[in-house]
Structure 1
Amino acid sequence: MHTPPSRHEDAPLDVLIVGAGLSGIGAAAMLQERCPGKRYAILEARAAIGGTWDLFRYPGIRSDSDMYTLGYGFRPWRDARAIADGPAIRDYIRETARSQGIEQHIRFRHKVVSAAWSSADALWTVEAQAGETGETRTIRTRFLHMCSGYYDYERAYRPRFEGEEAFRGRIVQPQFWPEDLDYAGKRVVVIGSGATAVTLVPAMAATAAHVTMLQRSPSYVVSRPSEYGFARRLQRRLPPNLAYWATRWRVILESMLLYRIARGKPELAKRKIVQMAQHQLGPGVDIAHFTPDYKPWDQRVCVVPDGDLFKALKHGQAEVVTDHIARFTESGIVLASGRVLDADVVVMATGLSLSVLGGAQVSVDGKPWVPSEAMAYKGMMLSGMPNSVMTFGYTNASWTLKADLTAAWVCRLLTYMDRKSQAIAVVRQQAGVMAEPFLGFSSGYVQRAAALLPKQGSRRPWQVYQNYFQDMFTIRFGRIADGVMRFGPKGRMP
């Protein structure tokens, strides 16, 4: 196989950001504001800004976090909708990049395949496949900021079932939604019970003949208003920016309180969530379909705006079936119970595949560096990987809250290193700190990726908090030189 020649760029960057999605654009904006003299670029594997919000095009695609906290702190979300659809979020990210002058720094169709650190030079050498030809481009940078998220954009989790080849209908995956799919007036089966499935079912039910959500086991589903009444009242009484921040902090505090109650009193939380679902569904839907056997937030809680899923079920446009698949037939699916689901279209909303650091191969001073052997420092920096940060948002709150904290901390770190004339910053695992799973979720996509993800530690600063206040004080106000972070000059790894 022929390897395309490498184009090498001589002048090293100060910062290389990987990913032009929500995190990457936010990181660039923060860098421009707080470290205005730094030279930077963004590498984006795809041809557009937006990341997940540009890739996912399935019906009903939307956030399940409110936009007052999923939006950037430096650019208030002005739309009335708290729960926004995918195109609106994509436009928001693009407009942010345009208004901040970030677009000119983005190199599209640059997929990072490797990153090699040299302590002798205090530089990362990053190789990316560029354009349609896959020509290798080499970029050197003093600091690497990974904002590529944790989804594998090229693969989704796709189980195989007996008899699929006999099915005469169409099988599709949400991550790769076909533009030519016409499901109007057709019978649809959506396999799955997570955030994607509960989004697809009411959206497709609007025009499909009938939609069945087929799940192996239930998930927690809660309804939230697509617009917040209290936000509108604040907007009428306060200046726009003050109203935005008042709304943002109310949402943050409420979500933290509800999460704390759910984890501290799981049986109470479970009872309330199930009761709310039953109230919206009415007596015609078996509440067992929405009564999981795990505690709230052992897996992510699904959000449905204005109860759209519950309405579709209540009005008979859709139904939920809890069962296992025995096999496919020419015209549908046979379940373990013996029931047959007729289908023209089957949607495999069966989950995501995860990827660490965008799947790039990393080496440090000529030796392979393995993410799963590393420990996460403050949920951002990985042990043994110098001058680099990985943005990883919250699983129980808006991703951007943690992404904003991470971007600001990178600026603090760079400023400190400049002031102290240090070229290298690295953290190393400490003796006596026990390794624990990076994410405390029992969700299938997390368990499948357990061997890929880095670890967290049993005590600070190695713990990965799912708490904005704790992180705010630890990350925003904690000392950079905390005794764990090591610094050194070019030529020697500290």
Structure 2
Amino acid sequence: MVVVGAGLSGIAAAHYLRSECPQERFVILEGRDAIGGTWDLFRYPGIRSDSDMFTLGYTFRPWTSDAAIADGAAIRDYIRATAREEGVLPQIRFGHRVTSANWDPATARWNVEAEREGQALRLTCRFLFFCSGYYDYEQGYDPAWPGRESFAGRIVHPQHWPADLDYANQQVVVIGSGATAITLLPSLAAKAAHVTMLQRSPSYIIALPARDAIGRALQAVLPRKAAYRLIRWKNILLSSALFQFSRRRPAAMRNWLVRQAQARFGPTVQQRDLQPRYDPWDQRLCIAPDADVFRAVHSGRASIVTEQVARFVPQGVELASGRVLPADLVVTATGLKLKLLGGARITIDGQPLQVTDALSYKGMMLSGLPNLAMAMGYTNASWTLKCELIARQVCRMLNHIRRQGLDVCVPVLDTDAGQTRPALDLSSGYIQRASGELPRQGSRKPWRIYQNYLLDLFSLNLAPLRDGALRFARRGETPR
């Protein structure tokens, strides 16, 4: 078996393969030279989790701190320590970037092509598990505004933050209003002369405690594992309730979110700077641990401007109104680029896979694609929650194949899946820009993607494997 990616989900996959499929031989191919994925790549100031660590952390290795929101370095260390303790380091091949994979029906095997230091390598496996996320590690989304070459200062995208960048006592403009911008603003404001968050449209911001007071109390009186389970389920249920309320009563949730932000910002921020164009959870909520964004604006070291960028000028950024925001440094926190399956070219018996024609099966496989799974986390909750469910489901399939003397498992779409829509249905810019490259989902199970841990817990780990859509076969047979 080949696992692609040694980030948060790749290490989870390795754990479950070792614990639930001890007879399975596997290797992890990691395109970069380090463990951690996202949490090793991103190094911009203040980077932190946007999910609580009791659910972002692994079930099998509980997060023991009372810090509900952790910084990037702590998460990176946690993933690396988990890999060491799980004994999976010997299975990781660093610097191996998967470029293509072809399914050979005659042998019921994947022929995987990879590159290492410019040399082509080939591996053969019977199951391929992509744990490489869904965005492009090479570059983020960076709009080509006119006049960039005339700007006298420096322009930086957060995805590739220079280690030597000194912004102390500088005028900084952060373009964007998503989670990255909300994270950057208070961190940059601690050293910069002034930070302006230039948003083309606002996002919802909610202040949460950086440390879990209830969790701390439970940890003080209960054994470690029992406290962890209670804290984890508390957070799962609270986040699920928040999401469901947002979907069922969007106007009420919108009003509450805007009012609490307005109350915290006070008269320093106008209401139009806090009114998003979309309903809550059409995009992810932005979290402000211990209200750090609000405090930075109150201090006078940061401000928010809502307007369109017209062009760059030597002294800064010119807005559509003609106003110029002076800047020594411009940070383009403008989002990500999507790249499914790590950008690898997937073929079936030499024929290219048309991803946009495929339907997602339970959010983990694609219709008509044999022996291949993808670890895709939640868009409304912790990434790890669903990735662990998917890893365990993959182990169930592998064990079933081995026990029954089978070779192939493939989701087959031969019934009505209902009305379809993109597999990722957020309105976020990075998803909308890639809508023509995404698989789709149906409105009926098992082709519908639930953003709901409780439903997925049953669907992925408790329901029978043979559900009418997932078919099994021996080599050369028709899946049935």
Give TM-score, length-normalised by structure 1. 0.96
Secondary structure in 2 matching 1:26: helix
Aligned to 2:134: 150
> Given that residues 119 and 492 in structure 1 are in contact (C-alpha distance below 8 angstroms), is that contact kept between their aligned partners in structure 2?
no
For residues 407-418 of structure 1, what are the structure 2 equivalents within 5 Å? Answer: 407-418=391-402
> What is the CA distance between 1:293 and its match in structure 2?
2.3
In structure 1, distance between residues paired with 2:400 and 2:54: 31
Secondary structure in 2 matching 1:350: coil
Identity, % of aligned positions: 54
The reply to whether residue 379 of structure 1 matches residue 379 of structure 2 is no
> What is the CA distance between 1:110 and its match in structure 2?
0.2
Q: 2:20 aligns with which of 19, 31, 34?
A: 34
Q: 2:441 aligns with which of 423, 445, 456?
A: 456
In structure 2, distance between residues paired with 1:199 and 1:83: 12
Structure 1: any 5+ residue segments left out of the alignment? 1-14
> Counterpart amino acid of 1:460?
K
The reply to whether residue 486 of structure 1 matches residue 471 of structure 2 is yes
In structure 1, distance between residues paired with 2:43 and 2:342: 21
Aligned to 1:124: 110
Aligned to 2:212: 228
Aligned to 1:193: 177
Q: 2:63 aligns with which of 77, 80, 104?
A: 77
In structure 1, distance between residues paired with 2:320 and 2:473: 62
Secondary structure in 2 matching 1:107: strand
For 1:447-466, what per-residue CA distance to the aligned partner results, in whole angstroms no more than 9, with x for missing partners?
Answer: 01111111111210000110
The reply to whether residue 90 of structure 1 matches residue 76 of structure 2 is yes
The reply to whether residue 216 of structure 1 matches residue 205 of structure 2 is no
Aligned to 1:240: 224
In structure 2, distance between residues paired with 1:99 and 1:401: 20
Q: 2:339 aligns with which of 328, 335, 355?
A: 355
Aligned to 1:299: 283
- Deviates most, 175-184 or 423-432: 423-432
> Counterpart amino acid of 2:282?
D
For residues 108-123 of structure 1, what are the structure 2 equivalents within 5 Å? Answer: 108-123=94-109
Q: 1:445 aligns with which of 391, 413, 430?
A: 430
In structure 2, distance between residues paired with 1:155 and 1:91: 24
In structure 1, distance between residues paired with 2:399 and 2:121: 29
> What is the CA distance between 1:179 and its match in structure 2?
1.2
In structure 2, distance between residues paired with 1:216 and 1:316: 21
Count of matched residue positions in the alignment of Structure 1 and Structure 2: 478
Give TM-score, length-normalised by structure 2. 0.98
The reply to whether residue 471 of structure 1 matches residue 456 of structure 2 is yes
Aligned to 1:5: none
Q: 1:47 aligns with which of 29, 33, 36?
A: 33
> Given that residues 189 and 214 in structure 1 are in contact (C-alpha distance below 8 angstroms), is that contact kept between their aligned partners in structure 2?
yes
In structure 2, distance between residues paired with 1:189 and 1:284: 18
Aligned to 1:252: 236
In structure 2, distance between residues paired with 1:461 and 1:316: 52
In structure 1, distance between residues paired with 2:320 and 2:452: 41
Aligned to 2:270: 286
> Counterpart amino acid of 1:475?
L
In structure 1, distance between residues paired with 2:177 and 2:471: 45
Secondary structure in 1 matching 2:55: helix
> What is the CA distance between 1:100 and its match in structure 2?
0.5
In structure 2, distance between residues paired with 1:112 and 1:144: 11
In structure 2, distance between residues paired with 1:315 and 1:288: 21
> What is the CA distance between 1:369 and its match in structure 2?
1.0
In structure 2, distance between residues paired with 1:147 and 1:204: 32
Moved over 3 A (4+): none
The reply to whether residue 266 of structure 1 matches residue 250 of structure 2 is yes
> What is the CA distance between 1:493 and its match in structure 2?
4.8
For 1:354-384, what per-residue CA distance to the aligned partner results, in whole angstroms no more than 9, with x for missing partners?
Answer: 0010000011112111222211100101111
| Root-mean-square deviation (Å) | 0.9
Secondary structure in 2 matching 1:282: helix
In structure 1, distance between residues paired with 2:426 and 2:254: 17
> What is the CA distance between 1:73 and its match in structure 2?
0.5
The reply to whether residue 166 of structure 1 matches residue 154 of structure 2 is no
Structure 2: any 5+ residue segments left out of the alignment? none
